[in-house]
Amino acid sequence: MALLPILEFPDARLRTVAEAVEAGEIGTPGFQTLIDDMFETMYDAPGIGLAASQVDVHKRFMVIDVSEDREQPYVFINPEISARDGEQVYQEGCLSVPGIFADVTRADRITVEYLDREGVKQVLDADGLLAVCIQHEMDHLLGKLFVDYLSPLKREMVRKKLAKQRRMAAA
């Protein structure tokens, strides 16, 4: 397994809309290795979700594990939210926007249909943190970031703060 580089805001590649994963791709050794590498990258970061778009692979899949002990890994291939209910405000962060957190309003409960890592169709009812994480990662697959929910002024402040962090790290 290998750690993958994570694209960071404002990298334009994060705005790419992901294409569907073809059924024939799912069982290939290369695709399965990519899934394993994404989990390793996510856990190392550390994070609880990682969309393929964040590692410059513009295919509709993501990995998620919101458990404390890293024992509930999910792979969502070609996910679609079929139902949303309620509303919650959650303070979100993102591996592509390091060190920045902001309140985002999301559906409290969702139903998501997807293929698992073996290509088997699944339906999951999720709430709380898992529901938020699924919605956050699905935004990545659509070329959207959580900072897009912020006002233009706050988004520009985030851009400047990240640029300053990069300059400081390079010095």
Feature table: binding site for Fe cation: 94, 136, 140
In the block, tokens 């590692």 appear at 55
Task: State whether the Cα torsion 144-84-71-19 is positive or negative.
Answer: negative
Q: Which residues are catalytic?
A: 137
CB 65 within 8 A of CB 42: yes
DSSP 30-69: HHHHHHHHHHHHHHHTT-SEEEGGGGT--BSEEEE---TT
Residue 116, CA distances (Å) to 21, 35, 108, 155 in order: 12, 11, 23, 34
Count CB neighbours of 165 within 10 A: 14
Residue 92, CA distances (Å) to 48, 88, 108, 135 in order: 11, 12, 14, 11
Count CB neighbours of 88 within 10 A: 15
How many alpha carbons lie under 13 Å from residue 85 in its C-beta half-sphere? 8
